[in-house]
Amino acid sequence: MSGTYARTVTGTGLVTALCDNGDIATGGGYVANTPSVVWNYPNALAQPTGWIVDSPGTPVQAYVVCANVTP
């Protein structure tokens, strides 16, 4: 199977959006109403599977774009 898809998670503090098991994150980011995001990065350097956003005290929506690499 091939293709891409996105996942989103909303929360406060460390918020992690994850790909399905076995798939790889190709990018990510966040949506926030206030500029309170401290960090915005993949959850691993080699074959990341998610995207982490650190937004202390303010709600944020983290998103990850995933490559569907599982059969």
11-58 pLDDT per residue, tens: 999 999 999 999 999 999 999 887 787 889 999 878 899 999 999 888
Cβ within 8 Å of residue 8, ≥6 positions away: 17, 61, 62, 63
The angle at the Cα of 42, spanning 24 to 3, to the nearest 5 degrees, equals 25
Predicted structure pTM score: 0.87
